[in-house]
């Protein structure tokens, strides 16, 4: 349950910079008349997600799955739990490059696609030895969007002491290198590290980090030097009233908030930072699993959305006092003249219609006009009434609509013999990873990628897909990435 998204771009000439920014990119340039892309199903596995009523126009095409044999690397296995992600033009002009975190494997894969968008080659550029933590969401920093990069920031969320890797998306394979971690971004159970666009706070680098624990935090790294990830300061979000209790905030109201500095952030352990969050009355969120900002430029990136996934008592029915149970999506409006101040509000709250509305929101993809919310409902709440969904929230309309749902096909015996051998009949046994807008990259409007974690799809042939020596990679799940066409931006 902790698993989300994103993109990176190399430092290329302007004509090659048709790329994906952060979790999802959004731009007015929605067509590329010279594109050679032919969007079609390339995987031997069927799409494991379906459109819901009201979104019948969507076309879902499986791009890559664990059973696919790529012609230039027939031994490559696309491994379990593809989560954080990014895609860019190959600088050699021969197509595209897709990176994915594989959360449970602690690994990062790199898949090459040809000019038509067909996967042809795959490799792991970070394995379980080098990854060191469960790698969840990720974001690409690029000069044109963020003022620095290219740099793939991938966050770890193991035992409260994880760190952020800063990886060259086009670098040589160095599968076991742990030297790319950034102490200045702190130690925590991290879900994503998201740099704001350069026009949000010119001359600064501002990175927002989601801390995924019972007393989860929204953390901000701030440097007065663009691209500096080693010497900035670290802060955590609190209400100016000093009320730390999440559920004392309700939908329909705005709350004054500020970021307060974390002492000795670079040398403090995750446990010490968590203790400071209590001592300093920071807001105690129920697991901040993802962060993304509004697209469109002109300061739109100061409008930030983040999730609190939610926690419950062990009975999966009773809330934990002070924390959201079903999950929430928050909007943080950051002050233009002061990066450390803003207004916070609840924009979506699963407790308004428990079990029918959002259940354990995890990943986010934010465009100009919509927030796409991917669920991680495998907390298995007793009163949940649907399988894992992707929801569309309209920023202007304030309407929340279910758009996609996992397609378990539980009455299909042949399907279940492969994708659910254990015959697990619980709802939400599958979850989502990254969702990202690739419209500008491929020259086809309203086109997104979506990562899927079908946890009950297991086979011994997927074991240790990255070749790691670590015993942790005994996971044998399959994974999938699908193309979704027709998504509103």
Q: Is residue 7 part of a domain?
A: no
Instruction: Say if residue 150 is preceded by a cis peptide, omega within 30 of 0.
Output: yes
Residues 6 or more apart whose Cβ sits within 8 Å of residue 227: 147, 148, 149, 205
How many domains in the chain?
A: 1
pLDDT at 34: 59
* Beta carbons of 106 and 135 less than 8 angstroms apart: yes
pLDDT value, residue 35: 75
Q: Is residue 8 part of a domain?
A: no
CA dist 20 → 23, 115, 123 (Å): 8, 17, 21
Does 4 map to a domain?
no
How many other C-beta atoms can be found within 10 angstroms of the C-beta atom of residue 31? 11
Q: What burial class does residue 411 get, using C-beta atoms within 10 Å of its C-beta: 0-12 exposed, 13-18 middle, 19+ buried?
A: exposed
Residue 375 lies in a domain: yes
Q: Token match 């080098």: residue? A: 130
Among 232, 263, 259, CA closest to 338: 259
CA separation for the pair 291, 281 (Å, rounded):
21
* Residue at 3 is within a domain: no
Structural domain for 418, as ranges: 14-485
Q: Is 9 inside any structural domain?
A: no
Contact between 420 and 406 under an 8 Å Cβ cutoff? The reply is: no
Strand blocks (E) in 188-232: 190-195, 205-211, 218-223
Residue-wise pLDDT tens digits, 226-244: 999 999 999 999 999 999 9
In a domain? residue 5: no
pLDDT in tens, 274-320: 999 999 999 999 999 999 999 999 999 999 999 999 999 999 999 99
| Token pair of 323 as six digits | 């924390």
Enumerate helices (H) and strands (E) in the chain, giving the number of each. Answer: 5, 25
pLDDT at 25: 43
Q: CA 103 to CA 117: how far, in whole Å?
A: 24
CATH number for the domain harbouring residue 368: 2.120.10.30
Domain-embedded: residue 54? yes
102 — phi, psi (to 5°)? -120, 100
Residues forming a β-bridge with 70: 73
Sites in the chain below the pLDDT cut of 70: 1-34, 214, 470-473
For the stretch 311-329, pLDDT in tens is 999 999 999 999 999 999 9
């Amino acid at each position: 349950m902790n698993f989300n998204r994103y993109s990176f771009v190399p430092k290329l000439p302007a004509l090659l910079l048709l790329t994906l920014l952060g979790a999802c990119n959004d731009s007015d340039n929605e067509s590329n008349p010279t594109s050679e892309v032919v969007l079609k199903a390339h995987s031997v596995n069927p799409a494991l997600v379906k459109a819901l009523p009201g979104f019948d126009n969507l076309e879902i095409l499986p791009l890559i799955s664990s059973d696919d044999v790529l012609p230039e690397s027939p031994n490559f296995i696309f491994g379990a739990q593809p989560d954080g992600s990014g895609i860019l033009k190959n600088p050699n002009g021969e197509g595209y490059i897709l990176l994915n975190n594989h959360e449970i494997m602690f690994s990062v894969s790199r898949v090459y696609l040809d000019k038509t968008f067909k996967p042809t080659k795959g490799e792991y550029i970070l394995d379980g030895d080098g990854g060191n933590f469960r790698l969840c969401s990720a974001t690409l920093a690029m000069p044109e969007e963020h003022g620095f990069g290219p740099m793939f920031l991938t966050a770890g969320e193991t035992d409260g002491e994880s760190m952020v890797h800063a990886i060259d998306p086009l670098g040589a394979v160095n599968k076991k290198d742990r030297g790319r971690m950034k102490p200045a971004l702190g130690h925590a159970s991290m879900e994503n590290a998201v740099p704001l666009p350069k026009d949000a706070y010119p001359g600064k680098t501002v990175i927002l980090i989601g801390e995924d624990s019972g007393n989860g935090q929204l953390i901000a790294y701030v440097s007065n030097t663009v691209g500096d990830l080693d010497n900035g300061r670290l802060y955590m979000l609190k209400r100016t009233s000093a009320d730390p209790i999440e559920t004392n905030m309700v939908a329909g109201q705005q709350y004054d908030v500020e970021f307060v500095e974390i002492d000795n952030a670079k040398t403090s352990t995750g446990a010490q930072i968590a203790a400071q969050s209590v001592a300093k009355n920071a807001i105690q969120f129920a697991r901040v699993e993802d962060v993304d900002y509004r697209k469109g430029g002109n300061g739109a990136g100061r409008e930030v959305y983040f999730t609190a996934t939610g926690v419950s008592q062990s009975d999966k029915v009773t809330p934990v006092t002070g924390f959201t149970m079903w999950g929430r999506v928050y909007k943080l409006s950051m002050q233009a003249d002061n990066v450390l101040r803003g207004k916070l509000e609840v924009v979506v709250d699963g407790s308004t219609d428990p079990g029918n509305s959002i259940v354990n929101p995890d990943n986010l993809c934010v465009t100009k006009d919509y927030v796409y919310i991917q669920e991680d409902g495998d907390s298995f709440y007793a009163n949940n009434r649907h399988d894992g969904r992707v929801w569309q929230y309209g920023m202007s309309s304030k309407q929340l609509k279910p758009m996609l749902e996992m397609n378990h096909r539980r009455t299909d015996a042949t399907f279940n013999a492969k994708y659910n051998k254990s015959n697990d009949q619980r709802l939400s046994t599958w979850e989502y990873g990254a969702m990202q807008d690739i419209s500008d990259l491929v020259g086809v409007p309203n086109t997104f990628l979506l990562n899927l974690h079908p946890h009950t799809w297991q086979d011994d042939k997927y074991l240790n897909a990255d070749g790691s020596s670590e015993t942790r990679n005994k996971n044998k799940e399959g994974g999938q990435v699908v193309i979704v066409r027709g998504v509103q931006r």
